[in-house]
């Protein structure tokens, strides 16, 4: 049945834009995937950066309280480094997958969705990056940018519109 629908849309030129439910489900799947791969790294990343930073600090004083305060700052720096790593890894996952020949993240692929430009062509990594960082703006004001797809004829969110992309069903 899916192939008949696909053939019908190809012959008429009609695009089946992805709905809110499927896009939300794909986002949940992708979030679980990112967490699944990043969470096990957190402890190892934290241990390594904390060990390295503490090892590289030279103390002129043997005062225990001063050293403990410094170690707390190093632990915070380790956490910030890890969060920066997660942010870069997440950006590379979304932008890399959506600009790949798959045209979709794993969550979108599982649900039969793909991201294209408005002409139906594959998007570039830069365009996918613009779409990814545009999600910050879409979510800033109570997620209105995401809910904009409910009133858009092409079901585009703000970040889709800014980057000239659409999400459609295959």
67 domain residue, yes or no: yes
Total count of domains within the chain: 1
126 domain residue, yes or no: yes
Q: pLDDT tens for residues 20-35?
A: 999 999 999 999 999 9
User: At residue 53, does pLDDT exceed 90?
Assistant: no
Query: Residue 118: which domain range?
Result: 17-169
Q: What percent of the chain has pLDDT over 70?
A: 78
8 domain residue, yes or no: no
Helix (H, G, I), strand (E, B) or coil at 154: coil
Closest to 149 (Cα-Cα) out of 129, 170, 165: 165
Q: For residue 163, what pLDDT is reported? A: 96
- The DSSP secondary structure of 99-119, one letter per residue, reads TSTT-S-HHHHHTTEEEEETT
User: At residue 7, does pLDDT exceed 60?
Assistant: no
90 domain residue, yes or no: yes
Q: What percent of the chain has pLDDT over 90?
A: 62
Q: For residue 92, what pLDDT is reported? A: 96
Question: What's the CA gap between 78 and 36, in Å, rounded?
Answer: 20
106 domain residue, yes or no: yes
144 domain residue, yes or no: yes
**pLDDT confidence tier of residue 143, bands split at 50, 70 and 90:** very high
78 domain residue, yes or no: yes
2 domain residue, yes or no: no
User: Do residues 99 and 128 make contact, with C-beta atoms less than 8 angstroms apart?
Assistant: yes
Beta strands in the chain (DSSP E): 113-117, 165-169
User: At residue 1, does pLDDT exceed 50?
Assistant: no
**pLDDT confidence tier of residue 4, bands split at 50, 70 and 90:** very low
What average pLDDT does the segment 76-96 reach? 89
């Amino acid at each position: 049945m899916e192939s008949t629908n696909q053939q019908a849309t190809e012959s008429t030129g009609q695009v089946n834009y992805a709905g809110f439910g499927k896009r939300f489900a794909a986002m949940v799947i992708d979030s679980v995937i990112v967490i699944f791969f990043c969470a096990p790294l957190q402890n190892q990343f934290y241990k390594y950066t904390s060990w390295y930073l503490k090892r590289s600090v030279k103390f002129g004083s043997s005062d225990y309280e001063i050293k403990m305060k410094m170690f707390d700052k190093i632990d915070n720096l380790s956490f910030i480094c890890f969060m920066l790593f997660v942010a870069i890894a997440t950006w590379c996952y979304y932008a890399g997958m959506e600009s790949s020949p798959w045209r979709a993240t794993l969550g979108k692929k599982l649900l039969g969705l793909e991201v294209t430009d408005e002409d139906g062509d594959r998007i570039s990594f830069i365009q996918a990056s613009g779409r990814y960082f545009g999600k910050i703006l879409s979510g800033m004001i109570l997620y209105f940018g995401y809910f904009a797809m409910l009133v858009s004829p092409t079901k585009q969110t703000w970040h889709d519109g800014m980057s000239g992309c659409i999400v459609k069903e295959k």
